[in-house]
A and B are shown apart, each in its own frame.
Chain A
């Protein structure tokens, strides 16, 4: 393939990664923004989503779309409920002390991961995509016969990947509408701005925290269900989305939702594009170092305006 079509392919692959990353990072960012909790177990909720999706798809007979649709609903709910439980049993008990919550969620990380290893097993397994038609993409070029359109070999995307991008975009828009237009969003934003005042105005802060933690985990699980027909469900799959989400949340500014989405697109896309042209390990080294330096020299993030 020529450079042009190759780049287009990389952009499309990057867009799929960015879409899923945006959802995952949004969950992490929401939890950090509202609760000031760094959830180290976030990647494991992603993994739980993928594993539950496999179990559901495996149980439901019939067309793969049935199982997939069921998983799309069940997996986020399961992950959300586990998260609510974690919030009530661990985070609330340590009164959301920053260090204690980090150590506690590291513990939760290992509990979830190792429970998956015991029940689901060590081998990665795929979930069948509900639909997966190959859509060849055209390429335009000035050739010897003037302007021409043709279909280069290998330049294509599946209908499922397009669906992932659209679904993630829809969820992001819905999330934004809920946060900005509804009473629930108002309550969450109020809690984020000033916990004590919100409490004084009768907002059940501790319930809001539980729900926010549940939604955060649910978003990660939803992202995992979307990606699992492309990647496979595996008990160690949580590390990568966790790291990338951290990067996104830091670059976007801790706790800023808009920054998170912009950064997710930027990082997801560049991760997809760079890893086509560079060694993935090298691009990860550069990315982690850059993020550490951003935190050191610009702790409010690249898009943040206020000091964190």
Chain B
């Protein structure tokens, strides 16, 4: 089998397993996995920029929040049905990521991280400042009756699970396909050696710009899906913590691998889930994992597997 057939089989198999799990899992874990798949979509988006293009953003929460508030406000205040509201969420995330990219890409390295952090902080504070519309810290709930698409009730556990799976699969397949195409290969070239990619005649800036926009829009799609499926929109999702989470998931699962974001999100979610039963300081686990990863497993779980055993892993 060629590598692209193998990786197609891997992704198709993963989606089939997730589909089957939707029917097999008990309600509690079914709900968890639905949430994880939406968060993993966010991580998939983050991975495009961090894992493949090699740009570390500390401000992706602003894109997640843009999608979330784009959809949430359109439904809550505008009274739009879910599909147009979702599109508004996507447009909001795409627009924001374009503006941020045009400014932030003028910087590199540490400055890029801080600039993204600052922009994200400004977005977060703006959400708080416009509390009259956004509900500030407390956020708002999207009415259960409006969360329906084509007669399917998205608040029903199984429907919700399948909707999450649909969005996750779309993000996974799109990015996996993109990375096999020449566009993705140039992004990897930028990550590995920016000067050489420039010398080879590629327009590095335009590729980076596209990478930020794609990454931001997928993150926004995840935010919009989260709001739609779980019915809650809040400022927490725009806070620094939600910029750190995708970094954590991607690092844990394996930066620059297609299934790494999901693996990382599953591990971290259950780690935090179990430890929050023991202590209210559950973010301690996140801190310890981050430090251990930087020290011992820079490639992440899937990355280490690829390095040691299965070299073809996409």
Contact = CB atoms under 8 A, between A and B. Distances in A.
Contacts of A308: 111
A279 B111 contact: no
Contact of B293 (A103, A288, A289): A103
A185 interface: no
A226 interface: no
B281 A289 contact: no
B104 interface: yes
A304 interface: no
Secondary structure at the B interface, as helix, strand, loop or mixed, is helix
Contact of A292 (B103, B240, B280): B103
Contacts, number: 115
Contacts of B125: 281, 284-285, 288
B107 A296 contact: yes
A100 B279 contact: no
Interface stretch (B18-26, B209-217, B223-231, B284-292): B284-292
Contact of B115 (A102, A281, A295): A295
Given A99-B56, A107-B288, A285 B280 contact: no
- Among A93, A106, A117, A246, chain B packs the most CB atoms within 10 A around the CB of A106
A79 interface: no
A131 to B, nearest CB: 36
B110 to A, nearest CB: 5
B113 A118 contact: no
Interface string A41-74: 0000000000000000000000000000000000
A291 B110 contact: no
B116 to A, nearest CB: 9
B118 A289 contact: yes
A103 B113 CA distance: 11
B287 A109 contact: yes
A103 B58 CA distance: 10
A291 B126 contact: no
Nearest to B100: A292
- Among B103, B113, B281, B284, chain A packs the most CB atoms within 10 A around the CB of B281
Nearest to A113: B283
Interface residues of A, number: 42
B166 interface: no
Contacts of A296: 103-104, 106-107, 115
Contacts of B198: none
Contacts of B122: 285, 288-289, 292
A104 interface: yes
Given A107-B289, A110-B287, A111-B288, A285 B129 contact: yes
A299 B110 CA distance: 11
A61 to B, nearest CB: 30
A90 B107 contact: no
A114 interface: yes
Interface of A: 38, 90, 93-94, 98-100, 102-104, 106-115, 117-118, 122, 239, 243, 246, 250, 279, 281-282, 284-285, 288-289, 291-293, 295-297, 299, 308
13 contacts: A38-B113, A102-B58, A104-B291, A106-B244, A107-B293, A107-B294, A113-B283, A114-B283, A115-B281, A289-B122, A292-B103, A296-B106, A297-B106
Given A285-B129, A292-B104, A295-B111, 10 more contacts: A103-B294, A104-B290, A104-B294, A110-B290, A111-B284, A115-B284, A279-B129, A284-B125, A289-B119, A296-B107
Interface of B: 56, 58, 103-104, 106-107, 109-111, 113-115, 117-119, 121-122, 125-126, 128-129, 240, 244, 247, 251, 279-284, 286-295, 298
